[in-house]
Structure formats: structure tokens, C-alpha cells
Structure 1
Amino acid sequence: MSREMLLLLLADTILVVHVLFVCFVVFGLFAVYLGYFLKWSWVLNLKFRLLHLLAIGIVVVQSWLGVICPLTIWEMALRKEAGAGTYAGSFIQHWLHQLLYYTAPQWVFMVLYSAFGVLVLASWYLVRPKGRSG
């Protein structure tokens, strides 16, 4: 495997991790509320809930500080080092980029991330996690 192929593979791996992180944040909140109504005990797990709150907290703080996600920075640096464009490359890269990277003013992201963070925080009061992480 060439050095460029290895770098692109690492970049694709980071992109997949990034998408999984986004899915955890978004679908984690839906799971908490849905799980409350369907009586799923795992959505009350303190470790899961703390990790979920931390994840959206990081996103909100980054947006307010105007910080680019480190996963994005690492992925793009690997692609550049491999000599690839940031939107060219493998099938995985192309389609996952369509899901993650879209264009809007910074304030739009700040409002969206903050509102989502408020929903996650509200879930702590509406669907209280168990006191022990079990």
C-alpha cells in the first residue's frame, strides 16, 4: 500500500468516526426520549447520559469559540498530505462529506448546536438518569 493510500485510508477512518460521533449525539437524544416512552432502561444509564452530555457540550463550546472540530482538521490535513482534494477521493469520503459538511453562516451553526444542547440538557430533567451507572 502506498503512503498516499494509507493517508487516505486514515482520513476516511477519521471521517467515519466523525459521522459516528454525530450519529451518537443526534440519535442519542432521540433514543432518550423514545426510550422513556418505550421503557428502555438503558437510556437511563448514567454513563451513557454523561457521555452524551459531554459530546454535545464539546460541540456547543467549539461553536461558540469558533473552533473547527479537530476531527475535521486531522482529516483534511491527511487528505492534503496525500495530495488529494478535500472533497475528492473514495466513495465513503464523498457520501459522508455530503452528510457532514454543508455551508451556512457560523451563527446558524452556533444557534443550532446550542438549541440541540438545550434539548439534551432538558432531557436530564424530563428523563432523569438513574443515580448509579450500573
Structure 2
Amino acid sequence: MVFRLLADGVMLAHFGFLAFLALGGFVAWRYPWVLGLHVAAVGWGLLSVLAGVHCPLTAWEDRFRRLGGEQGMPRGFVDAYLTGVVYPREYLLTVQLVVAGLVAVSWAGFALSRGRAGVRR
């Protein structure tokens, strides 16, 4: 029971990380200190997508699920919970490009808001 709860907690943290990856730049508009964390998250996301680096959260969830008597994660987090579930598999690239667009817009908006803040001083 404990391992299943830990696995579910890791799964929720993973969803939170992905939400932060997509939208954290917008949070930085209000809380500028968040931008450094968002840059790190985007860097990790790029490394994962472009170089195929496996996320440790997936490994932890898999381990906890197995220790809890479940099958484990037969594939990666995104493949298990999002691709083919939330959106069709053939839209994976589209979803990745939308997330990249959200990041770009959020960072551009951050830069513009910081520029206007400097003008007001």
C-alpha cells in the first residue's frame, strides 16, 4: 500500500513537472525568481526529447509500482499517461511544438514585461 501511494505521488509530481515545463514561464511574469527554475526544467525537457535521456521520476515510479505488487511502467511516463491517452500518438510532434511555443511566448512576454518595468523606473 505504501509503495503504491509513493508511486502515485511520483506520478502526480511528474504531471506537475510537465505542467511547470509548459507554463512556468508565465508564472515567472509574476514571480521573476521562478525563471531560473523554468530554464532548468526546459533544459531537462529538451535533453529528454532530443537526446532520449530517461527521467528519474519515471524510474522511481516504476520501482515503487513494482515494490507495490503492480506491473510497473512498461514504457516512459509520457507514453504511458499522455501519448495515445490524452492525445493521439500521431500528434506527439504537434504537442511538443505547442509546448515549445508556450515556452517561447512566456519567455518573450517575460522579457517584454521586464523591459517595460525598466522604462518605468
Above 0.5 in TM-score? yes
Calculate the aligned-residue CA RMSD, in Å: 3.3
Cα distance, 1:61 vs. partner?
Answer: 0.9
Deviations 1:3-29 (A, max 9, x none): xx1111111111111111112222334
Partner of 1:68: 54
Cα distance, 1:99 vs. partner?
Answer: 8.7
Q: Does 1:57 align with 2:43?
A: yes
Partner of 2:118: none
Deviations 1:108-129 (A, max 9, x none): 45x7546634642454334316
Partner of 1:25: 21
Structure 1: any 5+ residue segments left out of the alignment?
Answer: 36-41, 88-96
Aligned residue pairs total 105
Change (3 A) 1:101 1:74: farther
Structure 2: any 5+ residue segments left out of the alignment?
Answer: 116-121
Q: Which residue of 84, 87, 92 maps to 2:70?
A: 84
**TM-score (normalizing by structure 1):** 0.58
Distance in 2 (CA, whole Å) between partners of 1:27 and 1:56 is: 10
Alignment of structure 1 residues 1-134 onto 2, 5 Å: 5-29=1-25, 32=26, 43-86=29-72, 100-103=81-84, 104=89, 108=92, 112-113=95-96, 116-117=99-100, 119-121=102-104, 123-128=106-111, 130=114
Percent of aligned positions with the same letter in both sequences? 27
Distance in 2 (CA, whole Å) between partners of 1:101 and 1:73 is: 17
Change (3 A) 1:114 1:66: farther
Cα distance, 1:80 vs. partner?
Answer: 1.3
